Amino acid sequence: MNKQQLIDFESKIINHYNNNKLPFLFHLSGGNETQLIDIFKDIKTGDYVLATHRNHYHALLHGLSPDDMEQKILDGRSMFMYDREKNFFASAIVGGIPGIAAGIAWALKKKKSDKKVWCFVGDGAEDTGNFSEAVRYVDGWDLPCTFVIEDNDMSIIANKKTRWGKAAEQKWPESCVIKYHYTLPFPHARTKDFCDLSESNKIKKTDEEYFPYFPQETFPDFDEINGETLTYKEAVTQAMTELGRDNTMFIGYNLGGEFGNAMGTLVGVDEDKKLETPVTENLMGSLALGMSFEGIKAVVYYERHDFMLVGADAIGNHINHVERLSHGEYNAPVILRTVVADGGPFYSGPTHSQDFTKVFRELVDFPIFEPTTPTEVLRDYKKAQMAKGPVMIVERKSCYDGKTTTI
């Protein structure tokens, strides 16, 4: 696709807007046609392309059908363009995709694939800690991923100097980061001339009509599984060992070593299935989601439930929503494992012993299990093992003290 074809496509979208056919938020590409065409010369068929809310040019250059894209935009999906067959993924969450890109790249390297990940972000996403963590991770492990910063120096409305003062310019490793500058001929969203939305408002659909919910997964009761001869910790250890026999990775910190192994529950898991991460809870969840795109089921271990709040962006905006936003093209078979420190030989303090289960039940639509007996542990992890989507399992430290009854 050449420069004029890209411009003509966006002109068609503008016409739809002016004719009151787009009663929702959308973001136009423009001013960077030459730069993108040049970059896409290096992107091969089968490579992953991850883009932002401003993704129309990227999708077109990666081979998505202009007619299909136009219809998806008319259906309210401008910011959420997906194509599983072509490995195209877009997210409207600023800074949300770099960690996912790193996870895909990690899986590709493990599989010795010749594919690569290309992750496009704006200078607003460049500002985020999520971006810094992902770049550092990709650079540190030589993962097959290139981040492309598309810098129009406006984030939403403020330029970098306004946002950062004398720290406006950041240096990134050339091994995995490309940066180009351009001037966007449009405002942050829509066009310069806002049309009368009174007519388009009449055709506006509900959130659920644009993005229908999928029914929550259901599971067998597994009544035949009984763990009454085990302690709670033995049951968790047995469940982890069973999970470790699958194409599974365990992600988190304190997964190995004399004082780690996730409170001693990963002793039966091979060391090459444990991915020790930095203390980066949001990156951990994003890595897991990216790995799942390449068929790896990850168990993400949050040592305390309190720490899961730091990872709530990846959990709430991507792991929870990816199936719905992609209309089923992507899914997130991820197990989120955490522990509420409500017991034990010492007091963990108010920031290390909180229970946020009710908060996450409001935040996510996928199953959350709270096993309090060894039998429940075995059954709930069996459900998580067979799940096609995400599952959260909340363990309780008080149960590790040998209790087998509901607390």
DSSP 208-271: HHHSPPPPPP-----TT---TTS-HHHHHHHHHHHHTTSSEEEEESS-SSTT-HHHHTTTTS-G
* CA pair distance 105, 180, nearest whole angstrom: 22
| Residue 150, beta-bridge partner list | 122, 180
Asked whether the predicted pLDDT for residue 168 surpasses 90, the reply is: no
The tokens for 298 are 């990850």
188 lies in the same domain as 314 = no
pTM, to two decimals:
0.94
Mean pLDDT of 66-79: 94
Domain of residue 357, residue span: 232-401
* CA pair distance 35, 6, nearest whole angstrom: 12
42 lies in the same domain as 122 = yes
Place 406 in a pLDDT band, splitting at 50, 70 and 90: very low
Q: What percent of the chain has pLDDT over 70?
A: 95
* CA pair distance 111, 199, nearest whole angstrom: 52
Place 281 in a pLDDT band, splitting at 50, 70 and 90: very high
Cβ contact 165:171 at 8 Å: no
Asked whether the predicted pLDDT for residue 345 surpasses 70, the reply is: no
286-59-201 Cα angle (round to 5): 90
Torsion of CA 29, 35, 38, 40, to 10 degrees: -40
The CATH number for 236's domain is: 3.40.50.970
Q: Is residue 151 part of a domain?
A: yes
Q: How many domains does the chain have?
A: 2
Round the average pLDDT of the chain to a whole number and report it.
Answer: 92
Place 402 in a pLDDT band, splitting at 50, 70 and 90: low
> What secondary structure letter does DSSP report for 43?
P
Asked whether the predicted pLDDT for residue 403 surpasses 70, the reply is: no
Q: What percent of the chain has pLDDT over 90?
A: 77
276 lies in the same domain as 201 = no
Question: At 407, is the secondary structure helix, strand, or coil?
Answer: coil
Q: Which of 14-23, 30-39, 206-215 has the lowest mean pLDDT?
A: 14-23
Asked whether the predicted pLDDT for residue 55 surpasses 70, the reply is: yes
196 lies in the same domain as 251 = no
Mean pLDDT of 38-54: 97
Mean pLDDT of 197-226: 88
pLDDT digits (tens, 9 = 90+) for 214-237: 999 999 999 999 999 999 999 999
Q: Is residue 215 part of a domain?
A: no
Q: Is residue 223 part of a domain?
A: no
Element (H, E) at 340: strand 335-340
Q: Which of 29-43, 95-109, 276-290, 331-345 has the lowest mean pLDDT?
A: 331-345
21 lies in the same domain as 114 = yes
The residue behind tokens 């009174």 is: 198
149 lies in the same domain as 246 = no
261 lies in the same domain as 167 = no
Exposure of 64 in the CB half-sphere (CA atoms within 13 A): 26
Asked whether the predicted pLDDT for residue 184 surpasses 80, the reply is: yes
30 lies in the same domain as 175 = yes
pLDDT at 321: 96
Cβ contact 378:235 at 8 Å: yes
123 lies in the same domain as 237 = no
pLDDT at 346: 64
Place 405 in a pLDDT band, splitting at 50, 70 and 90: very low
Q: Which residue has the higher pLDDT, 122 or 405?
A: 122
pLDDT digits (tens, 9 = 90+) for 103-140: 999 999 999 999 999 999 999 999 999 999 999 999 99
Q: Is residue 220 part of a domain?
A: no
First to last CA, the chain: 62
Cβ contact 391:298 at 8 Å: no
Q: Is residue 16 part of a domain?
A: yes
58 lies in the same domain as 199 = yes
pLDDT at 25: 82
